[in-house]
A and B are shown apart, each in its own frame.
Chain A
Amino acid sequence: MQQSDSLVIGGVELDSRLFIGTGKYSDDALIPAVCEASASQVITVAMRRVDKNGTGVMGHIPSRMRLLPNTSGARNAEEAVRLARLARAAGCGDWIKIEVISDTRHLLPDGYETAKATEILAKEGFTVLPYINPDLYVARACVDAGAAAVMPLGSPIGTNRGLRTKEMIGILIEEIDLPIVVDAGIGRPSQACEAMEMGAAACLVNTGIASSDDPVAMAMAFRRAVEAGRAAFLAGAGAVRSGGAVASSPLTGFLR
């Protein structure tokens, strides 16, 4: 019998383990087709001031998608909290991806400020998904602060370099009892597959899809990769080593 393998975050059951973004498309009009091809159910957006002729991205997002607004632009916990509250006022749910970055050169998240913002927003009833360096202590602080999942980066944002932080993400998967959503750095489907095979709960892919030559086809490729990786994780990897006791017994030869 087929067992359900849905991912539950903040009480919401998701069938798809691929989260997608809305940034960096050559044309936002591609987004509906990307949503369709990826089968994703969660999509990130950013919050910005309206400009004179800006139309925003909402018109391109199918209504079935769950919105995951981020707090990009926030340089500390206070700004992240302000952005999160504004995002909730838009009336599209209470999920929030905390992103606090004050280093514009490397765009690495500030774990301390992120955990602070997580605590405040979790208390206000948000479903909080903090974007962090895969640091065990920061992840634990986010768990204690009431996060619904943690989102460690695979490599610096936008680099498409894959799972450079694989060892550290492995430790989070081992130690943290919340879903681990690998965010940032996943440029190719094989990298997403690898993350899922390790036991990540989901992957968030934006640049890898948006900056490809054919985002719709790439969205489909990522969908299949994430599904394949998940299936492999559930199936359990087989032993590589061949069986049978070794001929000489240098360590246990003393036993009769």
Chain B
Amino acid sequence: MDTPVLADTFAPGEAHFDECLAEWPRERRAALASSITERDVLAALEKDVLRPEDFMALLSPVAAPFLEEMAQRSREITLRFFGRSVNLFSPLYISDICTNHCRYCGFNADNHQKRRHLSVDEAAAEAFALADAGISHILLLTGDARHIASPQYIADVAARIKPRFASVGVEVYSLTLDEYRLLIRNGVDSMTMFQETYNRDLYEWLHPAGPKHDFLWRLNTPARAAKAGMHSVGIGALIGLDEFIHDAFCTGLHAWWLQKHFPGVDIGLSVPRMCPHEGSFEVKHGVGDRQFVQYIAALRCFLPRCGITVSSRENANMRNHVVPIGVTRVSAGVSTAVGGRVVDAENSGQFDISDHRSVREMTRDLAALGYQAVAKDWEACDF
């Protein structure tokens, strides 16, 4: 499987992230993490330019007592690079038919709930309802079922709705270089691809079958999308699957590597934390609120110019408090079910959200915090 992965994504000799990750095996990460001292944490907080070793220091338990200092530093950096504005977006689930068997996911093919695949017209109707509510940046989501929610289908939805959105993003299954180019030609400018976990053995166990099983193919997907010409590429690990320090570190390392190799691409980070869902997956490495905030602050210190997204998995109280610390992008008016705004939904969605605020409510609450909600942050000039 390895050869076609690289052949599609990279020219011979071109750098790929799995090589960078291989330089940071678990043992090396663990050894570094256990060697961190208070002095390393303070030094990392002093630096303008952090190395991966500094990032590890800020993620480590040794940094926990310095959480307020980290938050202050993170806030100061965020204010300098992003000011007092937060980008609003809304996800739109357009198809939940899925052939994967992700053990932790509500859309798992083994969950025999009724599924819904919106037609292009239905998807457009749902999207336009979001546009009417004031959303300009939309994120289209599908399950992994390329025979139904095909790249052409996603491209067709994007092309249809693009006139009413400044930015159309996708969070769908992993595509080929040419398929990303197809989406870009049809108005898609950003993509999000969660690695879920950077632990290969765990990854393969969590995704026992289906196209998502291939670890390397997924790992190299953000670079493939960047190479295809995506304006923004977002990544993230699903925190709670593996030990926090490993997936948190690898997420930062991945973003750092992408920034270095694709300086023209806007690299973004998401920090999803596992929450209850319809299946019975046991969250082994759940992180508490303090560690969650530490994660955001460490990412901000390490990657000053990366957008950081916090989704409605987090409740309103948490989101209100992490915006001033370093979050630059939040969702509003969210439903994780397919349909439900204009057309009928068949089920309650991929996961339960914790923050049900509408676009209007979110805008009001951000204003109360002293932040402006920005509906349109960017738009390609060739549309």
Contacts and interface: CB of A to CB of B under 8 A. Distances in A.
Verify whether A and B have any Cβ pair under 8 Å: yes
Interface of A: 140, 170, 174-175, 236-241, 243, 245-246, 249-252, 254-256
B293 A252 contact: yes
B75 A243 contact: no
Given A243-B38, A245-B66, A251 B71 contact: yes
22 contacts: A170-B49, A175-B260, A236-B43, A237-B43, A237-B46, A239-B43, A239-B45, A239-B46, A241-B45, A243-B42, A245-B66, A246-B69, A250-B68, A251-B325, A252-B67, A252-B68, A252-B71, A254-B317, A254-B321, A255-B289, A255-B293, A256-B289
A255 B68 CA distance: 10
A256 B45 CA distance: 23
B69 A245 contact: yes
Given A245-B66, A246-B68, A252-B68, A174 B43 contact: no
Contacts of B260: 175
A246 B39 CA distance: 16
For the complex of A and B, 5 pairs with smallest distance between CB atoms: A239-B42, A251-B71, A249-B68, A239-B43, A252-B68
B363 interface: no
A255 B290 contact: yes
B29 to A, nearest CB: 20
Contact of A245 (B39, B68, B321): B68
Interface in B224-256: none
A238 B45 CA distance: 11
Given A239-B43, A251-B324, A174 B49 contact: yes
Interface residues of B, number: 25
Contacts of A249: 68
Interface in B166-210: none
Contacts of A252: 67-68, 71, 290, 293, 325
B273 to A, nearest CB: 14
Nearest to A236: B43
Contacts of B49: 170, 174
Nearest to A240: B46
Nearest to A199: B49
A250 B263 CA distance: 35
A103 B324 CA distance: 48
Nearest to B66: A245
B12 interface: no
Interface in B262-305: 263, 289-290, 293
B72 interface: yes
Interface in B63-77: 65-69, 71-72, 75
A113 B377 CA distance: 37
A174 B293 CA distance: 27
Contacts of B293: 252, 255
B68 A251 contact: yes
B65 A245 contact: yes
Contact of B46 (A140, A175, A241, A254): A241
Nearest to A167: B48
Contact of A238 (B39, B69, B263, B324): B39
A238 B40 CA distance: 9
A174 B304 CA distance: 14
B227 to A, nearest CB: 16
B313 to A, nearest CB: 17
A159 B65 CA distance: 48
Given A239-B42, A255-B293, 12 more contacts: A175-B260, A175-B263, A238-B39, A239-B43, A239-B46, A240-B46, A246-B68, A251-B72, A252-B67, A252-B325, A254-B321, A255-B67
Contacts of A255: 67, 289-290, 293
B51 to A, nearest CB: 10
Which residue of A237, A243, A246, A252 has the most chain B CB atoms within 10 A of its CB atom?
A252
Contacts of A239: 39, 42-43, 45-46
Contacts of B38: 243
A195 B67 CA distance: 33
Contacts of B72: 246, 251
B42 A241 contact: yes
A152 to B, nearest CB: 16
A58 B289 CA distance: 69
Nearest to B321: A254
A256 B291 CA distance: 12
A234 to B, nearest CB: 14
A239 B325 CA distance: 22
B17 to A, nearest CB: 16
Interface in B21-48: 38-39, 42-43, 45-46, 48
B60 to A, nearest CB: 15
Contacts of B66: 245
Contacts of B290: 252, 255
B73 to A, nearest CB: 10
A170 B49 CA distance: 9
Contacts of B289: 255-256
A66 B280 CA distance: 69
A46 to B, nearest CB: 35
A254 B289 CA distance: 10
